Chains A and B, each alone.
Chain A
C-alpha cells in the first residue's frame, strides 16, 4: 500500500476510537505536561524562527529545547541569521515566520526608517543584557583622568566623564574616536549615545542626508556586527563598543578590553529584544501567534525561575545556548553573565542578578511606553527627521505592540495553572509603565509625555 500522509481532520470517528484504545495505555503519567496544555487550533504548525547569536535569544531557544513549543502543537525550527538586516528581510519575505528582534526594529520598520514593513510584537524577550566595552588603552586614559578608577575594583556606575578629556584631545588633534554599535535602530545605539551624551559628548546626529549619524559628533559611531566587535577593538578599528552578551565577556576573557558600564546602569531594567512577526502574518495566523506567545511566556518564566534568590535554571540554559547551532560561544563565557554575575575585569566580578531579566518584574509584557521611548530616541538623534505630535508617538507604539495577544496567551496559561495572575499586569492596565528616573543622568521619563522628555535633554533634538 502506498503510504499517504494523513490529512487534517480525515480521521473517521471509528478510527479515532480504534487508535484511542491502542494508545490510551500510553497516556499515563508521562504525558501529564501535554495534557495540561490546552492546545489551540493553530493555523500553521511548522514554523521557522530566526535569531542572532546573542544570549538574549534564550526564550526562543528554550521554548524549543524544553518542549514548550511542542506542548502547543508547534514544530519549530530555530535558524541563526548572519545579521539584523538579513534577519528582518527574511521575516518580511516570509522565509522566516518570526524572529528575535531589536526593540527598535519593528518600530523603525513600521515608520519606514530603513526597510519599510509593518512589523508587530506580542512579546518582550528580555530586559538589560548589554554592556559598553572600551579598549585597554582608553581604559588606561580614563584611569588617569579619574583617580577612583585606578583600582582592580573601581566604583560603579562609571560615567563617560573621564572619557570626555580623551575625546576632546583626539578631536583637537583632528581625529574623531571611532566607536561601534550593532545596528542603527538597536538599543545599543541609543544606549551608547545616552551614556556619551550624559557626559556632554555629542555622539553625532542623523539628518535626512546623513544616514550614518555623524553630523556634529565628537566621535564617530558606526555599525559593526556583534561577533566582530572584539576583533575591531583589537585591531583599533573601534576604541569602544556597545553590544550584547557574550561579546563583552569575550573581551574580558581575551584581555582586549574593559567593560565599563552595563545598560542596567544606564537605565535600570530597560527593554532589550522583542519577538517580531509581520502584521500580515499575525493577521493570517492569530491562533498560532497566541500559541507561540504562550510558549515564550513559559520559557521566560522557566529562565527566571529562582529559589532562595538563586536562578535555578540558568546553568542548564547556558548549557543549551552554548550548543553550536544556538549561540555557540563557550559555556563558561555565556555563564559569566547569565548566572547573575558580570565580569568587568578579570579581577572585578560583580553580582548582577538583573543583568538578564526574561520574565520577572512583568518584563515580557509588550509595553506601549517602551515603544514610545524608542521613538523619542529616534527623534532625539534625528532618525525621525520631522517633529511629531505626542499622539503620533502613542499611535505608532499601539500599532506595533500587541498587549492583547500577550494577555490572551497569559489568561490561557493562568487557566491551565502554569502562570499566576500576579505575574502579569492586571486587565485594566493601560500599557504604560509609571514614570521613572532610573537613568544614569537621573532624567525622568514618562511614556505619556514624549515631548516633555525630549526637551529635558541637553544634546539632541528637543521637539
Chain B
C-alpha cells in the first residue's frame, strides 16, 4: 500500500504510541483513521471503557466507605477531601508566589497593589464575619443537640449512682450484721466469705453498668455533629485568607525591597544632616557609624533573597533532583562494574558476596550510614563547604545564572541522593552483568575472527548487544530509587515529598490524612511517568524488538 500523507500520520502516531507503551490509545487512533471500526470499538470497550468504569467504581467505593471508617484523626478522607487538600496546597503555593512578587514590586505597581490588596481585605472581612456567625450558630445548635442527647443518659447515670450508693450502704450493713452474728457464734465463719465474694461480684456488675453509661455519654461528646466542624473549617479558611492578605499588606508597606532600601537611605540622609550640624563628639561617632552601617545594609538589600517557604511544588522539584542525582550515581557505578562482572567470571565471583550481602539492606540503614560516612567530608562547617557554596550560588563565575540555586542543596539532600544511589545500584548492576554475560557467542566469535582489541570489542559488540538488558535494569533502578527516596527524605528531613509526608504526619491536623493520601497520588503519578520515560529509552535501544524500532 502506498503511503499517503494520512497513512504517514497514522503510522507515525501508532509508532509513537507503541514506543511509549500507551497501547490503550492504539484502537482510538485506528478508529479515527477508519480502520476496521467494529474491531476497534470492541477493543476500546474492553481496554478503555471497562478500566475507566472499574477505576470509577473504586473511587465510588472509596467515597462510600471512607466516612464510616473512623480513625484517631477523624474519619478517613474521601476523594473529595483529597481533592480539597490538593486545592489547599496549590493555594498555599500561590500565596508564597504572591508574597515573593509583593516583595519585589516597586514604584507605581506597588501602590496599585496596595489598593488592590486593601479592597480585597475588606471584601474578605465581610465574608468572614458571615461565616464566623454561621459557625457560632452551628456550634450552639450542635451543643444543644449534644446536650439533648446526653441529658437523659446523664439523668440515668445520676439515678444509677444514687442506686449504687444505697446498695453499697445496705451491703455494708448486711456484712456488718453477718460479721456480728459470726462473732456471736450464730453463723458459720464461711458464710462471711461467701457474702464478701457475692458482694464484690455485685459491685463489679454495678461498675460494669456504670461504665456502659459513661461510655455512651463519652461517645456522644466525642462525636459532635459534623455540621459544627464544617462551619468551623469554612470560617477558619476565610480567616486564613485574611491573614494572608494582611501579611501581603505588611510586605508591601514595610518589608518590600524598595521600601526597605528607601527607609535605610532616608535614615542615612537624616543622620548626615544631624552629623553636619553636630558639635557633640560622641554623637558624631555614633551617627557616622550608623551612616556606614545603614549604607552597607541598604546595599545588601539588593542581594537579599526573600526567605522561601517550602511548597509542595518546590518539594517535588527537589525530590526529582535528588532522585536524578542518585540514579546518575547508581548508573555511573553500576554499568562499568556490571560489564566487568559480565566479562570476567573471576570479577563476578569476587563481587558476588558483596552484592548478595548488601543488596537486601534497607534504605533506612544506608541513610544512617551515609549520614556518618559522607557527613565526614563536609566537616567542620557544611554550610561553608565548597560543594554547597558552589551549588547554591546565585551566579557562577559572576555571570552564569545558576539554574539549581533554588534547590538549596544541603548535606541532607546529598545523604538522600546517596541512599537512592545505593539502593538503585543493584538492579542495574545485576542486569548489566546478565546482559553482558548473555551475549550471543557468535558475536564474540566474529570479534575474535576480526581480531578486535578490547576497547573495540567493548564498544562495538558488548555494549550494543547488552543495552536492552542494561536499560531494563536501569528502569527497575529508577523505580526503586523513587520509592526509596520518600523514606530517605522523611528520615533525613531533606526537603522533598518525603518530608512533606512526615511533616503532615507530625502536624496531626484534620487535613493531615488527606494531605498524606495526596502525596501518595503525587508520588505514584510521578513514578508512573518516570517509568514511561525509561520504557521509551529502553525501546529506543532495543534491536531485537523489530516492531518498536523500524
B198 at the interface (CB under 8 A from A): no
Chain A residue numbers with a CB within 8 Å of B412 are 95
A324 with B254, Cβ < 8 A, contacts A5-B395, A16-B265, A94-B383 known: no
Chain B residue numbers with a CB within 8 Å of A67 are 250-251, 254-255
B390 at the interface (CB under 8 A from A): no
Query: Once the chains bind, are A329 and B508 in contact (CB under 8 Å)?
Result: yes
Chain A residue numbers with a CB within 8 Å of B490 are 82
A38-46, A306-314, A401-409, A444-452 - the one binding chain B = A38-46
Fill in one digit per residue for A7-50: 1 if any B CB lies within 8 Å of its CB, else 0.
Answer: 11111000010011001111100110111001111100110000
A10 with B72, Cβ < 8 A, contacts A23-B262, A31-B263, A93-B375 known: no
Cross-chain contact of A319 among B240, B255, B259, B493 (Cβ < 8 A) = B240
A29 CB, min distance to chain B CBs, angstroms: 9
A interface, size bucket: 35 or more
Docked Cα-Cα span, A260 to B65, in Å, equals: 36
Chain A residue numbers with a CB within 8 Å of B265 are 16, 19-20, 23-24, 27
Query: Once the chains bind, are A80 and B293 in contact (CB under 8 Å)?
Result: no
Docked Cα-Cα span, A255 to B512, in Å, equals: 18
Task: Specify the chain A residue showing the minimal Cβ separation from B286.
Answer: A38
Cross-chain contact of B259 among A30, A231, A346 (Cβ < 8 A) = A30
Query: Once the chains bind, are A329 and B493 in contact (CB under 8 Å)?
Result: no
B258 at the interface (CB under 8 A from A): yes
Cross-chain contact of A26 among B262, B398, B508 (Cβ < 8 A) = B262
Query: Once the chains bind, are B506 and A53 in contact (CB under 8 Å)?
Result: yes
Cross-chain contact of A80 among B290, B302, B383, B506 (Cβ < 8 A) = B506
A35 with B290, Cβ < 8 A, contacts A5-B302, A255-B218 known: no
B508 CB, min distance to chain A CBs, angstroms: 6
Query: Once the chains bind, are B508 and A6 in contact (CB under 8 Å)?
Result: no
Chain A residue numbers with a CB within 8 Å of B303 are 5-7
B172-180, B304-312, B451-459 - the one binding chain A = B304-312
Chain B residue numbers with a CB within 8 Å of A38 are 290
Query: Once the chains bind, are A9 and B296 in contact (CB under 8 Å)?
Result: yes
Q: How many A-B Cβ pairs are below 8 Å?
A: 201
Query: Once the chains bind, are A328 and B263 in contact (CB under 8 Å)?
Result: no
Cross-chain contact of B295 among A16, A316, A347 (Cβ < 8 A) = A16
Fill in one digit per residue for A310-349: 1 if any B CB lies within 8 Å of its CB, else 0.
Answer: 0000001001101111011111110000000000001100
Interface centre among A27, A39, A41, A78 (most CB of B within 10 A): A27
B223 CB, min distance to chain A CBs, angstroms: 9
Query: Once the chains bind, are B310 and A325 in contact (CB under 8 Å)?
Result: yes
B167 CB, min distance to chain A CBs, angstroms: 17
A332 CB, min distance to chain B CBs, angstroms: 6
A75 at the interface (CB under 8 A from B): yes
Query: Once the chains bind, are A319 and B73 in contact (CB under 8 Å)?
Result: no
Query: Once the chains bind, are A26 and B258 in contact (CB under 8 Å)?
Result: yes
B428 at the interface (CB under 8 A from A): no
Query: Once the chains bind, are B260 and A77 in contact (CB under 8 Å)?
Result: no
Docked Cα-Cα span, A385 to B390, in Å, equals: 46
Task: Specify the chain A residue showing the minimal Cβ separation from B107.
Answer: A26
B355 CB, min distance to chain A CBs, angstroms: 32
A344 CB, min distance to chain B CBs, angstroms: 14
Query: Once the chains bind, are A46 and B305 in contact (CB under 8 Å)?
Result: yes
Task: Specify the chain A residue showing the minimal Cβ separation from B394.
Answer: A5
Query: Once the chains bind, are B306 and A75 in contact (CB under 8 Å)?
Result: yes
Query: Once the chains bind, are B299 and A7 in contact (CB under 8 Å)?
Result: yes
Query: Once the chains bind, are B509 and A328 in contact (CB under 8 Å)?
Result: yes
Chain B residue numbers with a CB within 8 Å of A64 are 307
Docked Cα-Cα span, A66 to B309, in Å, equals: 15
B84 at the interface (CB under 8 A from A): no
Interface centre among B222, B300, B515 (most CB of A within 10 A): B300
A182 CB, min distance to chain B CBs, angstroms: 13
A96 CB, min distance to chain B CBs, angstroms: 9
Within 8 A of B (CB), among A70-87: 70-71, 73, 75-82, 86
Query: Once the chains bind, are A8 and B305 in contact (CB under 8 Å)?
Result: no
Chain A residue numbers with a CB within 8 Å of B395 are 4-5
Docked Cα-Cα span, A33 to B260, in Å, equals: 10
Query: Once the chains bind, are B493 and A93 in contact (CB under 8 Å)?
Result: no
Query: Once the chains bind, are B297 and A23 in contact (CB under 8 Å)?
Result: no
Query: Once the chains bind, are A45 and B300 in contact (CB under 8 Å)?
Result: yes
Chain A residue numbers with a CB within 8 Å of B410 are 95
Chain B residue numbers with a CB within 8 Å of A230 are 72, 508
* 28 residue pairs A–B, Cβ–Cβ below 8 Å: A6-B300, A9-B296, A11-B298, A20-B266, A23-B261, A31-B253, A31-B262, A35-B267, A39-B293, A39-B297, A42-B297, A64-B307, A67-B250, A73-B297, A79-B495, A80-B503, A94-B382, A94-B384, A95-B382, A95-B410, A230-B508, A254-B222, A256-B72, A324-B92, A324-B504, A324-B515, A325-B503, A333-B509
Supplied contacts A33-B254, A38-B290, 14 more A-B pairs, CB within 8 Å: A5-B395, A10-B299, A11-B299, A16-B295, A27-B265, A45-B304, A66-B250, A71-B254, A73-B297, A93-B382, A94-B384, A227-B505, A255-B222, A316-B243
The 9 closest A-B pairs by CB, nearest first: A328-B507, A31-B263, A23-B262, A255-B222, A27-B266, A34-B263, A27-B262, A227-B506, A26-B262
Contacts from B to A (Cβ < 8 Å): 72-73, 92, 218, 221-222, 232, 236, 239-240, 243, 247, 250-251, 253-255, 258-269, 290, 292-300, 302-310, 375, 378-384, 394-395, 398-399, 410-412, 490-491, 493, 495, 502-512, 515
